[in-house]
Amino acid sequence: MKEDVIEQDTEEWQSNFSFAGLERVGGMDLSYLKEDATRACASLVVLSYPELELPARASLQKMVTLEELRNHKI
């Protein structure tokens, strides 16, 4: 995983404070239910930029097992 870390800007819009060329921004959240710590809820949103309209979103609620966590690779 360490070899996949990018430590410098690679996109043209990153060196420009107007973010010219940036078309989409996104965010993700992963939470666990208070009542049942084995159930996870993941949400992802993508917004157009600079309009901030919502062209895509997804959410999923799933039971997470210890075996899945052991086998998970990023």
This prediction has a pTM of: 0.62
Q: For residue 47, give the 3-state DSSP assignment.
A: strand
More reliable by pLDDT, 43 or 17: 43
Strand partners, 29: 43
- Closest by alpha carbon to 40, among 63, 17, 20, 67? 63
Mean pLDDT estimate for the chain: 86
Beta pairing partners, 63: 39
Instruction: Report whether pLDDT(21) > 90.
Output: no
Tens digit of each residue's pLDDT (9 = 90 or more) over 32-65: 888 888 888 999 999 999 999 999 999 999 888 7
